[in-house]
Amino acid sequence: MNLLKGIGFKLISALLFAVMSALVRQLGDAAPVGQMVFFRAAFAILPVVVIYALRGELGSAVYTGRPFGQLGRGLLSVGGMFSNFSALTRLPLADATAISFASPLITVALAAIVLKERVRIYRWSAVLVGFAGVIVMLIPHFDIGHYAVAGAMTAATVGSLLALISAFCNAGTVIQTRRLTQSETTSSIVFYFSLVCAIAGALTLPFAWHSPTPAELSKLIALGILGGIAHIFLTESYRYAAASVVAPFDYSAMLWALLLGYWLFGELPDVLVYLGGAIVAGAGLFVIWRERTLGVERPREAEGPPQAG
C-alpha cells in the first residue's frame, strides 16, 4: 500500500480523461461520433499491450474464460462511450462531467437490484438526494418554451439526456466488471473492452466518416492513447490504495473540466449546474464514506464482543 502513489495515479487519470473529453468536444464539429469511438478504443489498445507485454502479462490479457461476459461488458461500454461522446458534442464540458457524477449513485441502485447486495437506508437516501441534484443540473437544459414554439428538443436537452444515458451505461459496466473480476484478470477486462468498442466504432465506417486533416488525425490518435494511459493509471491507483481512499478524487475531474472548458471554449456553467453538481458530489462522497465505515465495522462484528480479562 502506498497512499500517495495511489492518490497521485487517480488524479493523473482524472486529468487525462478530462483532456480526452476536451478533445472530443473540439472534434465534435468535424468527426462523427462513431469515428471518434473507433480511434478512442483502437489506439487505447496500444499502450495497454505495451505495458502488459513489458510486465509479461500479455497472455493473461488475451485469455478469457468468459467471452460472453466480456462481450456484455463491452456492449455496455459501447453504449456509454457513444452516448458520452454525443453528449460532449452538445453540452459544455463541465455540464457533461457533472452529470456523469450520477454514475456511482446509479451503481448503488443496480448493485441492490442486480447483485442483490444489501443497501441500507443511508445509501438509498444518498441515491435519492443525488438524483435530486441531477434534476437541478438538468433544469437549465430543458427549455419548455422551446417545446411549445418549435415542438422539438434543443441540442442541450438531447445532450443532457445522452449524458444521463451514459451514466446508466457506465454504472452497468461497473456491475458487470464486479461479476467478471471473480474469474477474469484486470488486463483481459481492459483489453476486451477496447477491442469490442473498436469493432463497434469501425462498423460505422460506411456512415460518412470524416477525412481528417493532419491536426485532426493527431487529436483522434491522442484520444485513444490518452484514454489507454488514463485507464492504466486508474487501474494502478487501486493497486496502491483502497478504493474508498482514492474514489473521492474522481471529483477532481470537475475542476479540470471547468478549467479546460473555460480555457478552450470560453464556457461557464449555469449556477444551477454548480449547485446540482455539489449535491451529487456530496451524495457520492457520503456513499463512499458509508462504504468505508461499513468496511471497518464488518471485521469488528466478525470478531464478536471484547472478552473480559
C-alpha cell belonging to residue 119:
443497501
Nearest to 265 by CA among 84, 31, 25: 25
Distances (CA, A) of 94 to 16, 101, 131, 266: 15, 11, 18, 11
282 pLDDT higher than 60: yes
82 pLDDT higher than 70: yes
Mean pLDDT, rounded, for 164-174:
91
- Rounded distance, CA 183 to CA 55, Å? 20
62 burial type by CB count under 10 A (0-12 exposed, 13-18 middle, 19+ buried): middle
Collapsed DSSP state (helix, strand, coil) of residue 1: coil
If you search the block for the grid coordinates 486529468, which residue do you land on? 15
pLDDT band at residue 243 using 50, 70 and 90 as cut-offs: low
Please state which of the ranges 38-47, 221-230, 288-297 shows the lowest mean pLDDT: 288-297
pLDDT band at residue 74 using 50, 70 and 90 as cut-offs: very high
C-alpha cell belonging to residue 35:
469515428
Mean pLDDT, rounded, for 110-133:
83
Nearest to 39 by CA among 208, 207, 205: 205
- Rounded distance, CA 8 to CA 20, Å? 18
Chain centre to alpha carbon of residue 89: 16
Give the per-residue pLDDT at 58: 79
One-character DSSP codes across 226-293: HHHHHHHHHHHHHHHS-HHHHGGGGGHHHHHHHHHHHHHH-----HHHHHHHHHHHHHHHHHHHHHHH
The answer to whether 277 touches 254, Cβ cutoff 8 Å, is: yes
Q: How many CB atoms lie within 10 A of CB 194?
A: 25
More confident residue, 234 or 296: 234
Q: What percentage of residues in the chain have a pLDDT greater than 70?
A: 90
pTM for this model (two decimals): 0.85
Nearest to 103 by CA among 223, 238, 253: 253
More confident residue, 292 or 152: 292
Give the per-residue pLDDT at 42: 93
- Rounded distance, CA 137 to CA 102, Å? 11
140 pLDDT higher than 80: no
pLDDT band at residue 280 using 50, 70 and 90 as cut-offs: confident
Beta carbons within 8 Å of 42's beta carbon, 6+ residues apart = 194, 198, 201, 202, 224
Average pLDDT score, the chain: 83
- Rounded distance, CA 253 to CA 113, Å? 28
Which segments of the chain does DSSP mark as H helices, in order?
Answer: 3-27, 33-42, 45-54, 58-62, 67-88, 93-100, 103-113, 121-138, 144-150, 155-180, 186-202, 214-240, 243-246, 252-265, 271-303
Task: State which amino acid sits at residue 255.
Answer: L
214 pLDDT higher than 90: yes
Nearest to 97 by CA among 204, 206, 254: 254
Give the per-residue pLDDT at 211: 92
Q: What percentage of residues in the chain have a pLDDT greater than 90?
A: 32
